[in-house]
Amino acid sequence: MSPLTLLTPAVAVTAVTAIAVPTRSVASLRTFATTTPKKAKIMAILYKGGKAAEEEPRLLGTVENKLGLSDWLKQQGHEFIVTDDKEGPGSVFQKEIHDTDILITTPFHPGYLTADLFKKAKKLKLCVTAGVGSDHIDLNAANEHNVTVAEVTDSNTSSVAEHVVMSILLLIRNYTPAHEQIVGGEWDVAPVARLSFDLEDKVVGTIGAGRIGRKVLKRLQPFGCKELLYFDYAEMSKADSEALSVRRVEKIEDMVAQCDVVTINCPLHEQTLGLFNEELLSKMKKGAYLVNTARGAICVAEDVQKALESGQLSGYAGDVWNIQPAPKDHPWRSMRNPLGGGNGMVPHISGTSLDAQLRYASGTRDIIKRHLEGSLQEPANLIVENGEYATKAYGSRKN
């Protein structure tokens, strides 16, 4: 396998009203190249919340609650279109993109902005990801068309890290089959206990040791794991690795071969697409567990299904899918290990807790406000700008 460039994506937000911005020198901040008009057309692609969003206004990332931006934008005279209709040439997304100035998308219901759509989006100047992870945007095309792409760095790192640890525990303790027994009116301890283990004295490794990966490692420390490992092109400082009690492994194949549990915490880009294929999965410990809250396409769906059903993997859990929303016949919905368990899949929810939604909604507002004002921007939020990559988080990318 060729050397890989991996790093966990940046993730963060602030608050929908007053937003505290860390004091930095002007030299440490970047400006957006913008010719966005004073009265802009802004479009947001969000998921429908239905009755839940009507009853819970803190579900900000929904079509109904509009990231809390609607009144603010309309008071300034901007046009604000919010839709969940994103697939195909007849969708609101594709019909309205031609004269949109600012596009807001989300990893949880991604509007896929392809190279072809960039050609049609003649007025587009800024793409904001409400959350973290901008792989649904063709970043090379964004550079080609001089469109800035920004996301709300660190808005949901803690949310995702907590979900990772929860997923590890539900897999290794064989929780789901036990719960299904109770719901089904049954009580049979032995079939569940035969594949239930302690996390203590197990080897756990992370692919990617950026913000999320490090928070996962920190949260695993109290469990008394035998060893914590990481694979990342960027080596931690000695102080950080000692603080986290973690050891770096230089080759991904060597790391997965040592682990009882592997968690994926790196971005999706050319070098990580399909990374966990049949070949790499075969190098994992037989009966190991794999957790993926990064991006679904980092794993080959059919290869994961085969590994789980054969017993090469004892469990696979996560909330990210290679297609979102996932079709009803997606193999990850129904796959099981030979003993009938091992499936910990849920919808894309790990980074969209109510706390995270407040942070990424307010961060989205801050990015747009600065863009419209031509103000200085936080470098950590920028993915591409002025035709160049502003971060190494997405690997070795062409400019």
CA 390 – CA 131 distance, rounded (Å): 17
Give the model's pLDDT for residue 395: 53
* Residues designated as active site: 156, 295, 324, 348
What tens digit of pLDDT does each residue of 189-247 get? 999 999 999 999 999 999 999 999 999 999 999 999 999 999 999 999 999 999 999 99
- The answer to whether residues 377 and 368 touch, using CB atoms and an 8 Å cutoff, is no
Identify the three-state secondary structure at position 309. Answer: helix
Task: Flag whether 94 is marked binding.
Answer: no
12 or 34: which carries more pLDDT confidence?
Answer: 34
Nearest CA among 248, 247, 298, 241 for reference residue 269: 298
3-state secondary structure at position 363 = helix
pLDDT digits (tens, 9 = 90+) for 113-126: 999 999 999 999 99
* pLDDT beyond 70 at 35: no
> pTM of this prediction?
0.86
Residue 205, marked binder: no
Please report the pLDDT score of residue 391 as a whole number. 85
Mean confidence (pLDDT) of the chain: 90
168 among the known binding-site residues? no
**Mean pLDDT confidence for 282-310:** 98
pLDDT category at 24 given cuts 50, 70, 90 is: very low
Q: Domains plus CATH for the chain?
A: 26-155+353-389 (3.40.50.720), 157-345 (3.40.50.720)
